Amino acid sequence: MSKTILITGATSGFGAACARRFARDGWKLILTGRRSSRLESMQAELGDAVALVLMLDVRERQKVQAAVQDLPQVDVLLNNAGLALGLETAWTADMDDWETMIDTNIKGVLYFTRALLPSMVARNSGHIITIGSTAASWPYPGGNVYGGTKAFIQQFSRNLRADLLGTRVRVTNIEPGMAESEFSQVRFKGDEQLAAKVYEGTEPLKPEDIADIVYFTVNLPPHVNVNTLEVMSIAQSWASLAVHREKP
């Protein structure tokens, strides 16, 4: 019998690529996102593989809880929906942007995870995957709250594993570096030029690369748990530590 994956943020980028990757190998999909037209086109493209689409905002706790209650068995939850907003310093950043990132990247993950875990534990099987980021471990100017949300995800994921020891429920946090999707268009609030500059003259990861990694992680033998997986394009690495020098 086919297995089912619930993907949050399946209307674009990593989420849409994962939907296509899992559909290709006979998985059933539950796809979520806010943009109904995108959900409809995913459904048209993937046909019978799509068991259900849920148009919802992951920040809406009651709606998430209600939607999850009536679902068929979910074998894998992919907590992917998320965003970065702005790249301003901590003293000039917009507080609304900060709250949106916290509500989406942290609380959205908590709502779906908390709603689906009881059935996974009762069945003694399942897999919770979160999409973290290299920003969780590697700070950069303007990454302030975005990186903070992904650091939360990193530790939440590890703590889930600690709670789940003794069950067969797996937990994995995948931490990509720079990847080309709608991520930068969202970060720069529709400024196409700024977004394009992020990827100019370089070779970022593609959403399909992340989809292959998620698929690989899920399809390992059931006793194998990938805890954390950090992945970057070959064109990305770390900068040295920054030093401020006064002009002589």
Catalytic residue annotation: 146
Q: Which does 182 bind (CB under 5 to 8 A by kind): ligand 8X3, ligand NDP, none?
A: ligand NDP
The smaller minimum CB distance to ligand NDP, of residues 49 and 195, is found at: 195
Among 58, 64, 116, 214, binds ligand NDP (CB under 6 A): 58
Name every residue whose Cβ is closer than 8 Å to that of residue 228 and which is 6 or more positions away in sequence: 132, 154, 157, 158, 172, 173, 174, 175
Least distance CB 222 / ligand 8X3 (angstroms): 29
Nearer to ligand NDP, 81 or 145 (CB): 81
**Pair of tokens at residue 178:** 């720079």
Among 21, 183, 188, 213, binds ligand NDP (CB under 6 A): 183
Distance of alpha carbon 198 from alpha carbon 124, whole angstroms:
43
**11 close to 42: Cβ distance less than 8 angstroms:** yes
Query: What is d(CA 136, CA 130) in angstroms, rounded to the nearest whole number?
Result: 12
- In terms of CB distance, is 9 or 126 closer to ligand NDP? 9
d(CA 192, CA 188): 8
Closest distance of CB 94 from ligand NDP, Å = 16
> How far apart (Å, rounded) are the C-alpha atoms in residues 9 and 30?
11
Give the E-state strand segments of the chain in sequence order: 4-7, 28-33, 50-55, 76-79, 126-131, 169-176, 228-231
**Helix 207-218, helix 13-24: angle, nearest 10:** 50
For position 34 contacting ligand NDP by CB under 6 A, the verdict is yes
Residue 157 lies near ligand NDP (rule: CB under 6 A): no
Q: Which residue in 138, 160, 164 sits closest to 150, CA to CA?
A: 138
Binding residues for ligand 8X3, rule: CB under 6 A, are: 133-135, 143, 177-178
- Least CB distance to ligand NDP at residue 241 (A): 22
Please choose, out of 5-13, 64-72, 164-172, 231-239, the segment that lies near ligand NDP by the rule CB under 6 A: 5-13
Q: How far is the CB of 8 from ligand 8X3 (least distance, A)?
A: 16
Task: Give the SS3 label for residue 78.
Answer: strand
Which option in ligand 8X3, ligand NDP, none does residue 186 bind, with CB closer than 5 to 8 A by kind?
Answer: ligand NDP
Binding site for ligand NDP (CB under 6 A): 8-15, 33-35, 38, 57-59, 80-83, 104, 131, 133, 176, 178-179, 181-183, 186, 207
